[in-house]
Amino acid sequence: MPACRFCFTTYPREFFILGNGPRKDVCQRCGIEEGLIEESEAAMLFDAGLASSRLTLLSRRWAPMLWVLALWGMWFVILSDIPTWGMFSLIVLIIVSLVLPVNMMLNRAKYSALFSGLTPTHQRPPGH
């Protein structure tokens, strides 16, 4: 993946503007800031609604994993010393920890489809 000359961030190729000279290796966001392209030309620069939809989808996918990590932390700190509830919650946590990655793998195609639905279509021109 190429890096932008201005912000030094690496993006996939479709996030860069096309052209030679001053337009070479400039991401769309920096292209707008430097005045090289108009905002309407930056297809991969998402508006606030699309960006928020993408962030919501991403957080919905990864939130259960963070919850399980937080619950493991809570179990080690609080619940591990309580005899009955500690064992019961440990069993539940182990089951959830084993089922969650499988569930995420099974839902990966659905997530990819939803995420690509929120990604603008990019036609790579010939020669790029």
CA 96 to CA 101: how far, in whole Å?
9
CA 6 to CA 14: how far, in whole Å?
17
Q: What is the dihedral of CA 13, 18, 21, 24, to 10 degrees?
A: -20
> Which residue number, 33 or 69, has a Cβ lying nearer to Zn ion?
33
Shortest spacing between CB 126 and Zn ion, in angstroms: 24
> Which residue number, 23 or 54, has a Cβ lying nearer to Zn ion?
23
# chain residues binding Zn ion, by CB under 5 A: 5
> Which residue number, 22 or 64, has a Cβ lying nearer to Zn ion?
22
Question: Where do we find the tokens 């793998």?
Answer: 105
Residue 4 interacts with Zn ion (CB under 5 A): yes or no = yes
Q: CA Rg, the chain, in Å? A: 22
Shortest spacing between CB 29 and Zn ion, in angstroms: 6
Token pair, residue 93, equals: 């946590």
Considering only residues 7, 51, 87, 98, which one is a binding residue for Zn ion as defined by CB under 5 A?
7
For residue 67, what is the enclosing H or E element?
helix 48-77
Q: Interface with Zn ion by CB under 5 A: which range of 4-12, 35-43, 84-92, 107-115?
A: 4-12
Range 23-52, binding Zn ion (CB under 5 A): 27, 30
Token pair, residue 118, equals: 């929120």
Question: Where does this chain bind Zn ion (CB under 5 A)?
Answer: 4, 6-7, 27, 30
